[in-house]
Amino acid sequence: MSAALPSQPAIAETVAALRAIVRGYRAAGETVALVPTMGALHEGHLQLVREGRKRADRAIATIFVNPTQFGPNEDFARYPRDRDGDLAKLASAGASAVFLPTVETMYPSGFATTVSVAGLTEGLCGAYRPGHFAGVATVVTKLLMQALPDVALFGEKDYQQLQVIRRFVRDLDIPVEIQGVPTIREADGLALSSRNAYLTPAERAVAPLLHALLDEIAEKLQAGQDAAPLLEAGMGRLGEAGFGPVQYLAFVDADTLQPMGRADRPGRLLVAAYLGKTRLIDNIAVPPRGA
C-alpha cells in the first residue's frame, strides 16, 4: 500500500510545515498514518512505523518529549534524546516525514486548554502520576488535529494510555482510527522501552521477571484460580527479586480497566514497578477461561 519513499524523510518543525506536507500527500490521493513518539527510538517504535506503512501510503512520525506528561520528580530533564540517531532509524523504517516541534510550538504563550479523561485515568498509572494522562491526552489531541491522519498507531506496552486515547478520540469525534500494536520484546521477554537504557547490568538481568511473572499468573487465571491471592503472591515475589516500590500488579477488564476477580471475560494483567531508579511497566492480555 505504501507509496514510493524518498531516501530521507521530510522534516517539519512547524505546524504549517507539517500541514503542507500532509496536504501534498492528500493532493496525490495518498492516505496518512501517524506515529507519535518521544524519541530515543527502539525497535518497538520502528515497528509502529512499519505497521503504519502497511495501513497507509505514508507514515509520519513525530518526536516530542512532552513536558506536561512528566511529574515534578520524574525524568523529563534526563529523558534520552538522540535526534540524529532517531532520524536515521526512521529513514530505515520507511517514514516519509518527521514532525519535530519545540515546546513553544506545542504550547505557545497563553496556552490554557487541557484535555482530560475521567474514569480510565483514575487507577493504575493515573494513581501514581497525577496529571500524566491529561498531558498525554492534550498533546495527542494536538498532534492528531495538526496532522489529521487516517490512522494513528500506539504500542500496547502503554496499555492504559492506549485505552485513554481510544476514549477521547471517540468522545471528541476526532476522525482517525486508533490502532494498537503488540509489544515488542527482547529475547528474554523484557518489553522494549527507552527507559531500559537507565538499567544497570545487574538490574537488566532481573528485569525480565516482570514478563515471566505476568505469564505465570495469566496461566493460573485461565485455569480458574482467583486473582487476589495470585496478585498478592506476585507482589511478594517482585519485592524479593529486588523490585521496589511495586506500584501495582493488577488484573482488569480489557476495555474498562476495572478490577476483575476471575478470567470470565477479556482481561489484562498490568504491572508497574521500580527497579533501582528505573520505573518499568508491562502488561499482557488474558483471554477468558476456556477461550
Active site residues: 45
Give the integer Cα–Cα distance in Å for 155 and 162.
Answer: 7
Give the integer Cα–Cα distance in Å for 68 and 129.
Answer: 11
Helical packing angle, 132-147 and 15-27, nearest 10°? 50
Separation in Å, CA 253 to CA 196, 215, 247, 262: 28, 17, 19, 10
- Secondary structure of residue 202 in the 3-state scheme: helix
Helical packing angle, 209-222 and 227-241, nearest 10°? 160
**Burial category of 254 from C-beta neighbours within 10 Å (exposed 0-12, middle 13-18, buried 19 and up):** middle
Q: How does strand 10-12 pair with strand 97-99?
A: parallel
Residues in the chain, overall count: 291
DSSP 78-105: TS---HHHHHHHHHHHT-SEEE---HHH
Q: 201: which 3 cell numbers?
A: 547490568
